[in-house]
């Protein structure tokens, strides 16, 4: 019986719809309207920061790597931006530019360590994250800087029930989708994540795509830090760690159907994973569930989703020759052709005798 393989994005959409339906029923039991404009705004607001981090995390996971330094990059970017702005709207462009350049530099370091020094992405970014944590703990004891009112509007305004920050996140996700789906860099990143050796033998330079992925991952973490600074009004050395964005972003990426082994996944799947986590968090907040129980529910949702992915039908490619192959008698045909092959080889190189040519042309 023929089995159909369901695309991971379809599964994510199905899980998201199921989460919304179940969430609406549960919220209704406590006398609240799940689909009210205020609640929708809360869900979308909760998606913004994690969505930015998950976009960057998707890139490195597609390349069969990870980035655990994003939490500290978020904290550092919020501090840099707030300190440089110092309450002045005129300093906003310089603060944003310097912050993103510093974040890109951190991503470049991560990428070079992974590709040049051949250090596993988990260990490399963990080490860089610990370095950043030491810098933050040494130089900052609490919040610092001041974000001007004009920049705070990014995190406080919206178009109807949709926050401006969510619109920015979706627009950036569309740009990254274009990068992955329509450019050579995106194709090379998928190839490197799928099998770097085959990619190399196919003429793909394996280092640049992965380095670019790490750079973009840190830049998106920097954008998340800028957004948090706009909401808080100050920079915080612990805002990234308190949000747990490293593990949550990886969870959202996996929940969205991207393989941790690399080479398969999509940006929209990751955004779907972020939406599922945001819906689950919102429902538990409305129902005033114990905060510690939230992590338990998140874990159950993630494990259940991955279990669904693992049960998708995977049809292995049948061998062309041999027992059960798509072409019967392939081995016999090859043996029958050996004399002709030997004769042709002897005509090309008289020094090669018939016996050696029959064995594959080896002297």
Taking only the tens of pLDDT, the chain with its 363 residues reads 445 566 777 888 888 999 999 999 999 998 899 989 999 999 999 899 999 999 999 999 999 999 999 999 999 999 999 999 999 999 999 999 999 999 999 999 999 999 999 999 999 999 999 999 999 999 988 899 999 999 999 988 888 889 999 999 999 999 999 999 999 999 999 999 999 999 999 899 999 999 999 999 999 999 999 999 999 999 999 999 988 899 899 999 998 889 888 888 999 999 999 999 999 999 998 988 887 888 888 788 778 777 766 665 443 444 444 454 444 444 555 566 567 666 666 665 554 444 444 444 444
Q: Which residues contact 154 (CB under 8 A, 6 or more apart)?
A: 164, 165, 168, 227, 230
pTM metric for this prediction: 0.82
Q: What is the pLDDT of residue 344?
A: 61
Give the residue extent of every domain in the chain: 28-310, 322-363
Phi, psi of 144 (to 5 degrees): -145, 155
Answer for the pair 46, 344: CB distance below 8 angstroms, yes or no: no
Q: What distance in Å separates the CA atoms of residue 126 and residue 201, rounded to the nearest whole number? A: 31
With 0-12 / 13-18 / 19 or more C-beta atoms within 10 angstroms meaning exposed / middle / buried, residue 207 is middle
Q: What distance in Å separates the CA atoms of residue 249 and residue 58, rounded to the nearest whole number? A: 8
Sign of the C-alpha dihedral computed for residues 110, 113, 116 and 120 taken in this order: negative
Q: What distance in Å separates the CA atoms of residue 39 and residue 239, rounded to the nearest whole number? A: 24
- Assess if CATH 1.10.3470 describes domain 28-310: yes
Phi, psi of 118 (to 5 degrees): 60, 35
């Amino acid at each position: 019986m023929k089995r159909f393989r369901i695309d991971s994005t379809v599964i994510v959409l199905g899980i998201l719809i199921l989460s919304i339906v179940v969430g609406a029923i549960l919220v209704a039991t406590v006398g609240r309207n799940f689909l009210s404009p205020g609640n929708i705004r809360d869900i979308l607001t909760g998606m913004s920061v994690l969505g930015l981090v998950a976009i960057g995390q998707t890139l490195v996971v597609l390349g069969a790597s990870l980035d655990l330094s994003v939490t500290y990059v978020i904290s550092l970017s919020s501090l840099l931006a707030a300190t440089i702005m110092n309450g002045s709207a005129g300093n906003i462009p310089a603060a944003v530019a310097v912050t993103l350049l510093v974040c890109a530099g951190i991503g470049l370091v991560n990428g070079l360590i992974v590709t040049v020094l051949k250090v596993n992405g988990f260990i490399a970014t963990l080490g860089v994250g610990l370095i950043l944590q030491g810098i933050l703990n040494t130089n900052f004891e609490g919040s610092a800087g001041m974000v001007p009112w004009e920049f705070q509007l990014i995190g406080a305004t919206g178009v109807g029930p949709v926050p401006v920050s969510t619109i920015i996140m979706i627009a950036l996700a569309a740009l990254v989708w274009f990068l992955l789906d329509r450019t050579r860099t995106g194709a090379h990143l998928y190839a490197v994540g799928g099998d770097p050796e085959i990619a190399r033998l196919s003429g793909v330079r394996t280092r640049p795509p992965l380095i670019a992925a790490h750079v973009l991952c840190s830049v998106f973490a920097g954008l998340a830090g800028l957004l948090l600074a706009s909401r808080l009004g100050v920079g915080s050395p612990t805002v990234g760690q308190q949000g747990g964005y490293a593990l949550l972003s990886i969870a959202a990426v996996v929940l969205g159907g991207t393989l941790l082994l690399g080479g398969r996944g999509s940006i929209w799947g990751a955004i779907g994973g972020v939406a599922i986590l945001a819906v689950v968090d919102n429902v538990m907040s409305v129902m005033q569930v114990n905060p510690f129980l939230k992590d338990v529910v998140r874990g159950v949702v993630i494990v259940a989703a991955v279990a669904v992915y693992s049960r998708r039908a995977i049809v292995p490619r049948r061998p062309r020759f041999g027992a059960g192959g798509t072409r019967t008698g392939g081995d016999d045909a090859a043996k029958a052709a050996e004399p002709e092959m030997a004769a042709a080889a002897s005509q090309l190189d008289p020094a090669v005798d018939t016996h050696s040519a029959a064995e594959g042309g080896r002297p």
